[in-house]
C-alpha cells in the first residue's frame, strides 16, 4: 500500500509540473470520452455497435497503444479486466494470456480473423506480433465456441491490422533501454484510388535480465487491398517472423548453452462483399511454424518441431426487417505436425455454425447460435450458446450468457516424448487424454453516464469436465492431466471515468475461485484477487502521462498446493511528447519500485527498467 501511495503522489505531482494552461482544440476535447457507438466485430463476426454487444468486449485503440509507450503487445493486454499475463522473464520469453482463469490454450487469438494458436501446444507466441502493425485489438471475455469452435473456451483476442489510407503515412521508431534493449520499426501505407497497401518491419534485440536470456527478432508484414466498389473488398496479407532466444531455464538449474530458434510465415486472403441482401465473408489462410530447441554443448543436440495449418472459412449474413439477423457459416482446417521427437501426425476438422440475433428496437437484443465441429481424431462436439442484453434505461444495461465449449488435446498433450532431466525431473505427454468439456454462464449489469462514466459488474462461472492442465509433481515431473472436474467462478468489476477532457482513470478488479473438485485443491497460477489501476493524463494533445499498477495475491504453483508464489505489486509509468512536425518522444519506466517477483515458479521477472525513444511520422 505504501508503494501505491508513493506512486500516486508521483503521478499527481507530475500533473502540476506538466503544462495545463493551454486550451485544447475542440476536436481533442473528447479524446478520453467513452464511446458506445464504436464498432466491434469479434462477438458475431459482423460489424455491430459496442452498446448492442451481448458479451463483454474490451477495445484497445491505436491511440491507446501509442500513448502507452509499450514495447510488446502483452503490456497493453495486461491491464484489461480478468486478463492475467504469465511471463517467464524479459523480452522474447514465453508469454501467455489467461482470461477469467482460463489457460492460454483456452483463449483463441486471431489476426484479422485468422487463428494463430499453434496446434503443437495450443498457445499463441505473442512475441511474433508487432505493435506497429496493429490498428486495434478486441478482447472478448467469456466463451465464444459457438462462433469460433475449440480454443475459445475462455475468450478471444482479435487483432485487427492496419491498412493503407488516403493520405500517405510513414513512421520510423527507435527505442533503447535497460538490458541493452533496442527496438526499431518502419511502417509505410497509402491508398491509390481503389488499391491500398501497408508495409511494416520490426527489429527487437535484448540481452535480457539473466545470463543466456538474449533475444533477437525480425518481423516483416505486408497487406494489400482492393475495393471493387463500396461493398466489395479483397485483401491479401503475408509476412514472416524469425527469432533467436536464449533458454536459461530454472533459477535453480541455470542452463547457459541452450538456445531456441523460431520461424513463422503466413498468407491470408479475405473477401468481404455483398450479394443482393446478403453480406458475404470468405477467408483462406496458411500458417507455418518451425520451432527448434538447440543444446550447443558438445555433443550438439537439436529438436525440430514443424507445424502447418491450412484453413478456409465462409459466412453469409442477412438482416430481416431491420431487427433480425441470421448468419450461417462453414469452415475447414488441416493441422500437420512433423517433429524430430514426436514423429508425424495429422488431423482435420470440419465445422458448421449459425447464429441469430433479434433486436428489440434499440432496447436490447437476444442472440442464440451453435457450432458443430468434427475432428478426424477427436470426434465431434456441439457448442450452443444464448446471450442477451437489455437497456433498463438510457444509462443502465443488464446482460447474460450461457454456453457450452470444448478444447481438444494438442499434439504436445498427447505425444510429447519422455524426457528425463535426472534430479531436475522431466516431462512427457499422455496419449490417453480426452477433450475438455465446459459449460459457462454469466450475468451482469452495466452503467453509462454522459460519455464520461462506465461501470460493469459481471458474475461468471465455468464448470469443467476432463480439464487438461500441465502440472509438476514434487519431483518436478511435468505431465498433462485430465481432472475429473473443476470449477472456475468469480466476479469482475470495471470502472472507467473520464474526468473533464484531460484525465481518464480505469480500475478493475477480479475475484476468482478455481478448484479441482476431485481433490478440493486450487488450480495453479490463478490469483484469487487481481487489482488493476490505469491513469492517463493529457493536458494538451502534445503531452500524455500514464501510470499503471497491478496487484496479484498469492498463487499456488503446484497441484498439491504446497508451493506458492507470493503476492506482487508492479507499477509502470510512461510519458510522451509530440511535436507539431510529427516527431514524438517517449519514455517508459517499468517495475518502478524494483519488485522482486515471479509469474512462474523458479523464473524471475526483470527488476526496474527504463526505456526511451523517438518516433518520426511523415
Q: What whole-number distance in Å separates Cα of residue 480 and Cα of residue 435?
A: 12
Distance of CA 212 to the CA centre of its chain: 27
Average pLDDT for 303-331: 94
pLDDT of residue 10: 52
Radius of gyration for the chain, computed over Cα atoms and rounded to the nearest angstrom: 24
Cis, peptide link before residue 147, omega less than 30° from 0: no
Find cell 493529457 and name the residue: 538
For all residues of the chain together, what is the average pLDDT? 89
H/E element, 58: strand 57-61
Average pLDDT for 20-43: 60
Q: What whole-number distance in Å separates Cα of residue 405 and Cα of residue 188?
A: 41
499, 538 Cβ separation under 8 angstroms: no
Q: In 538-593, at which residue ranges do the beta strands (DSSP E only) sit?
A: 543-552, 555-556, 564-565, 568-578, 583-590
DSSP state of 593: T
pLDDT of residue 586: 93
What is the CATH number for 26?
2.40.170.20
How many domains does the structure of the chain reveal? 1
pLDDT of residue 1: 53
| Other C-beta atoms lying within 10 Å of the C-beta of residue 586 | 22
> Of the candidates 166, 185, 169, 250, which has an alpha carbon nearest to the alpha carbon of residue 212?
250
93, 406 Cβ separation under 8 angstroms: no
Find cell 433486436 and name the residue: 359
Q: What CA dihedral angle connects 23, 26, 27 and 30, to 10 degrees?
A: 80
Confidence of residue 290 (pLDDT cuts 50, 70, 90): very high
DSSP state of 65: H
What would the pLDDT profile of 112-169 be if each residue is shown by its tens digit? Answer: 999 999 999 899 999 999 999 999 999 999 999 999 999 999 999 999 999 999 999 9
Which of 150-154, 393-397, 538-542 shows the lowest per-residue confidence on average (mean pLDDT)?
A: 538-542
Average pLDDT for 221-247: 96
Q: What whole-number distance in Å separates Cα of residue 492 and Cα of residue 481?
A: 28
Find cell 509499450 and name the residue: 70
Distance in angstroms between the alpha carbons of the first and the last residue of the chain: 44
* Residue 23: partners with Cβ closer than 8 Å, 6 or more residues away: none
pLDDT of residue 298: 61
pLDDT of residue 30: 52
What would the pLDDT profile of 362-386 be if each residue is shown by its tens digit? Answer: 889 999 999 999 998 878 899 999 9
371, 353 Cβ separation under 8 angstroms: yes
> Of the candidates 148, 135, 116, which has an alpha carbon nearest to the alpha carbon of residue 43?
148
pLDDT of residue 299: 61
104, 98 Cβ separation under 8 angstroms: yes
Percentage of residues in the chain having pLDDT higher than 70: 93
* Local structure of 199: helix, strand or coil: strand
pTM: 0.91
H/E element, 490: strand 477-499
Residue 357 lies in domain: 2-617
345, 381 Cβ separation under 8 angstroms: no
Distance of CA 581 to the CA centre of its chain: 33
Percentage of residues in the chain having pLDDT higher than 90: 66
Confidence of residue 492 (pLDDT cuts 50, 70, 90): very high
Amino acid at each position: 500500500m505504501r508503494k501505491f501511495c508513493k506512486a500516486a503522489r508521483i503521478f499527481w505531482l507530475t500533473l502540476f509540473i506538466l503544462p495545463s494552461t493551454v486550451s485544447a482544440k475542440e476536436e481533442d476535447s473528447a479524446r478520453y470520452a467513452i464511446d458506445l457507438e464504436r464498432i466491434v466485430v469479434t462477438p458475431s463476426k459482423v460489424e455491430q455497435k459496442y452498446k448492442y454487444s451481448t458479451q463483454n468486449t474490451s477495445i484497445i485503440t491505436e491511440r491507446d497503444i501509442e500513448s502507452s509507450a509499450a514495447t510488446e503487445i502483452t503490456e497493453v493486454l495486461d491491464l484489461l479486466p480478468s486478463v492475467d499475463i504469465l511471463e517467464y522473464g524479459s523480452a522474447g520469453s514465453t508469454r501467455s494470456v489467461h482470461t477469467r482463469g482460463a489457460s492460454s490454450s483456452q483463449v483463441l487469438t486471431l489476426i484479422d480473423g485468422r487463428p494463430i494458436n499453434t496446434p503443437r501446444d495450443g498457445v499463441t507466441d505473442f512475441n511474433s506480433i508487432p505493435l506497429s502493425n496493429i490498428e486495434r485489438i478486441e478482447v472478448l471475455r467469456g466463451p465464444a465456441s459457438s462462433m469460433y469452435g475449440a480454443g475459445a473456451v475462455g475468450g478471444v483476442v482479435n487483432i485487427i491490422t492496419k491498412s493503407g489510407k488516403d493520405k500517405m503515412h510513414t513512421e520510423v521508431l527507435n527505442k533503447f533501454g535497460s538490458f541493452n534493449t533496442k527496438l526499431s520499426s518502419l511502417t509505410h501505407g497509402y491508398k491509390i484510388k481503389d488499391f491500398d497497401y501497408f508495409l511494416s518491419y520490426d527489429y527487437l534485440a535484448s540481452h535480457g535480465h539473466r545470463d543466456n536470456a538474449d533475444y533477437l527478432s525480425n518481423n516483416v508484414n505486408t497487406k494489400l487491398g482492393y475495393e471493387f466498389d463500396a461493398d466489395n473488398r479483397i485483401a491479401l496479407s503475408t509476412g514472416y517472423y524469425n527469432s533467436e532466444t536464449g533458454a536459461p531455464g530454472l533459477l535453480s538449474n541455470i542452463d547457459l548453452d541452450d538456445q531456441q530458434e523460431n520461424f513463422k510465415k503466413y498468407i491470408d486472403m479475405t473477401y468481404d462483399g455483398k450479394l443482393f441482401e446478403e453480406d458475404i465473408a470468405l477467408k483462406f489462410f496458411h500458417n507455418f511454424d518451425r520451432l527448434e530447441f538447440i543444446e550447443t554443448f558438445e555433443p550438439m543436440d537439436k529438436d525440430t518441431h514443424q507445424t502447418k495449418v491450412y484453413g478456409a472459412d465462409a459466412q453469409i449474413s442477412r438482416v430481416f426487417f431491420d431487427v433480425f439477423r441470421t448468419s450461417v457459416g462453414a469452415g475447414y482446417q488441416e493441422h500437420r505436425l512433423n517433429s524430430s521427437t514426436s514423429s508425424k501426425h495429422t488431423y482435420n476438422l470440419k465445422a458448421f455454425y449459425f447464429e441469430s440475433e433479434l433486436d428489440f428496437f434499440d432496447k436490447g437484443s437476444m442472440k442464440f447460435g451453435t457450432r458443430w465441429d468434427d475432428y478426424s481424431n477427436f470426434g465431434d462436439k456441439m457448442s450452443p450458446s444464448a446471450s442477451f442484453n437489455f437497456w433498463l434505461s438510457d444509462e443502465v444495461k443488464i446482460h447474460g450468457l450461457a454456453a457450452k465449449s470444448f478444447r481438444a488435446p494438442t499434439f504436445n498433450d498427447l505425444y510429447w516424448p519422455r524426457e528425463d532431466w535426472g534430479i531436475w525431473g522431466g516431462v512427457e505427454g499422455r496419449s490417453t487424454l480426452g477433450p475438455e468439456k465446459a459449460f459457462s454462464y454469466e450475468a451482469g449489469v452495466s452503467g453509462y453516464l454522459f460519455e464520461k462514466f462506465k461501470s460493469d459488474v459481471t458474475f461468471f462461472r465455468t464448470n469443467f469436465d476432463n480439464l487438461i492442465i500441465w502440472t509438476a509433481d514434487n519431483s518436478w515431473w511435468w505431465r498433462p492431466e485430465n481432472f475429473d472436474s473443476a470449477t472456475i467462478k468469480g466476479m469482475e468489476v470495471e470502472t472507467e471515468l473520464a474526468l473533464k477532457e484531460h484525465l481518464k482513470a480505469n480500475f478493475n478488479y477480479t475475484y476468482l475461485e478455481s478448484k479441482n473438485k476431485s481433490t478440493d485443491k486450487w488450480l495453479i497460477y490463478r490469483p484469487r484477487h487481481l487489482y488493476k489501476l490505469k491513469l492517463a493524463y493529457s493536458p494538451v494533445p502534445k503531452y500524455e502521462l500514464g501510470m499503471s499498477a497491478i496487484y496479484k495475491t498469492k498463487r499456488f504453483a503446484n497441484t498439491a498446493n504446497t508451493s506458492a508464489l507470493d503476492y506482487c505489486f508492479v507499477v509502470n509509468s510512461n510519458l510522451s511528447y509530440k511535436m507539431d512536425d510529427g516527431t514524438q518522444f517517449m519514455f517508459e519506466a517499468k517495475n518502478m519500485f524494483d519488485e522482486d517477483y515471479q509469474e512462474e515458479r523458479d523464473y524471475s521477472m526483470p527488476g526496474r527498467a527504463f526505456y526511451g525513444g523517438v518516433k518520426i511520422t511523415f
